[in-house]
Amino acid sequence: MRIFSIGLILFAALLGASLTRPAIAGEAVKVQLADGGTWRGSTGDRIRVVYLDRSIRRTVEGTLARFSDGWLEMTGSDGKRLPPIYSADVQEIERLQDDGASSPAEDQDEPVAAEETSDSAGTASEDLPVDGSNPAAGGEDGEVDESIRPTFILPLTGQVGVEFRAEEIEAITKQADELGPGQTIVFEIESGGGYVAEWEMIRDAIYEAQKRHRLVAWVIDGTSAAAMTTLCCDVIVMQSRGHFGSITTLAGGPSMPVGYQVNGARRYIEPALRRSGRSPKLGIPFKTGEAGGLSLLSYTKDPETGDVTWYQSHEGEVIMNSAGDVLGFDAGEAIDCGLAIGEADSEEELGILLDQGGWREVGTGRDLHDKWNDLVKRCTKSIQFSMKEFSELGNDEDGLRKKIKIIEKWLRWYRDAANVPTSMYHGGQFYGRKQLEQMLMLMKEELRALRETQ
């Protein structure tokens, strides 16, 4: 387990110095808006900002204090700092006159329509509760409690390699980089596993992020490749009903042979355990219960120091794995043996446990998760419906034209959401990309020949 205290203290001091540095009044500011337009103004301007908070439009007014590292910083009428807004979420900015009315929008590259100050449910944005679910939650009146360190959170759900990908990890890491080194990134893990090849990309994305930040697995369900993801993280926290383990490789339904499982444990799991400071003796038991003594696991915990000694046998006081069983941990077991640092069922509990001082969520991790999962659902539904249509079309001129359009659409899905059709192909439910390209070429030739004979 890495020691982060010194780095975090130094980073907190640097961050505090940055946030308290007086802004230069009248300093030019240029903000790229989400629609591609640009707003230009100066520090000290009174402005109204419309931004997205997990797909909900919100509005806030205040004085522009600073625009730095992608974050828009403002103060309220009482001079207290408001929650920072990530620039990628900003939809509109208007400069306000002294009476609170908006000034003309000549400071924007593109005209901006007037925007109501309520969310989609009709509740005024200034009346929305500020709590732990708000990405930039602060205290009363919306001010940021800077004694609470910011936390990024990214839900990782669904099948590893489909909904659960490396791309979102890379995106949230980029956001954390913009605040500087030493950030805390939480992965809220709920997955039954998936593809080893995709997990390797996830592992590499985690290892890259760990060069600069602390990564936390907050586990509801971490099975198979999701358990391997959990073990790569610096810190593991369990929800009270959480569990992880059972990293057995399957060949369709049945498990792969014992030798394959043992080699897989040594190739993938044991190195991940060593890197994160955990015992490699857990590797083979996580993978198979059929490897004789190699599948046995127990531990003894020193009652005074809490230090845990692991045994690849049953000589320890706590028996974790018997012959035929694949290793898994529930919340109590993971905490008792030291794999997890504790239990948290809410963001506030998690923030306290991680020594963040509470919960102040930043970044757009939940939105990243939701947008990709929505695309997965649309892609899956589109392919399933068009597969049925494709199978019912004939090979006359009209049928060939329609088939060509369908194949071109499938190839666009390979371009825009490759994980989905690829997983369907590996599951025997769809065509591979190269197969589709070959089908498209042949059908175009067939259609051309049909037209020439008419």
Helix (H), strand (E), coil (C) string for 220-283: EEEECHHHHHHHHCCEEEEEEEEEEECCCCECCCCECCHHHHHHHHHHHHHHHHHHCCCCHHHH
Q: Is 203 inside any structural domain?
A: yes
User: Which strand (E) or helix (H) includes residue 58?
Assistant: strand 56-68
Q: Is 275 inside any structural domain?
A: yes
Domain coverage including residue 126? 5-142
Residues 416 and 288 placed together within one structural domain of the fold: no
| pLDDT tens over the chain, length 454 residues | 343 343 443 334 434 433 334 456 678 888 888 777 889 999 999 999 998 765 567 888 999 988 876 778 888 888 877 877 877 778 899 999 765 565 544 445 444 333 333 333 332 333 323 333 344 444 444 566 778 999 999 999 999 999 999 999 999 999 999 999 999 999 999 999 998 888 999 999 999 999 999 999 999 999 999 999 999 999 999 999 999 999 998 766 677 899 999 999 999 999 999 999 999 999 999 999 999 999 999 999 999 999 999 999 999 999 998 889 999 999 999 999 999 999 999 999 999 999 999 999 999 999 999 999 999 999 999 999 999 999 999 999 999 999 999 999 999 999 999 999 999 998 899 999 999 999 999 999 999 999 888 7
Classified as helix, coil or strand, 165 is: coil
Picking from 142, 168, 191, the residue at the C-terminal end of a domain is 142
Angle (nearest 5°) at CA 296 between 295 and 301: 135
Residues 339 and 443 placed together within one structural domain of the fold: no
Round to whole Å and give the CA distance between 69 and 148. Answer: 20
Residues 186 and 301 placed together within one structural domain of the fold: yes
Q: What is the CATH number of the domain that holds 168?
A: 3.90.226.10
pTM of the model: 0.68
Residues 137 and 272 placed together within one structural domain of the fold: no
Residues 244 and 288 placed together within one structural domain of the fold: yes
Which residues, listed in sequence order, are joined to residue 164 by a DSSP beta bridge? Answer: 160
Q: Is 371 inside any structural domain?
A: no
Pairing status of strand 235-245 against strand 328-330? antiparallel
User: Which strand (E) or helix (H) includes residue 202?
Assistant: helix 196-209
Residues 71 and 135 placed together within one structural domain of the fold: yes
Query: In 288-426, which residue ranges form alpha helices assigned H by DSSP?
Result: 331-336, 347-353, 365-392, 397-416, 419-426
Picking from 101, 124, 142, the residue at the C-terminal end of a domain is 142
Q: Is 343 inside any structural domain?
A: yes
Q: How many domains does the chain have?
A: 3
Residues 119 and 180 placed together within one structural domain of the fold: no
User: Which strand (E) or helix (H) includes residue 47?
Assistant: strand 46-53
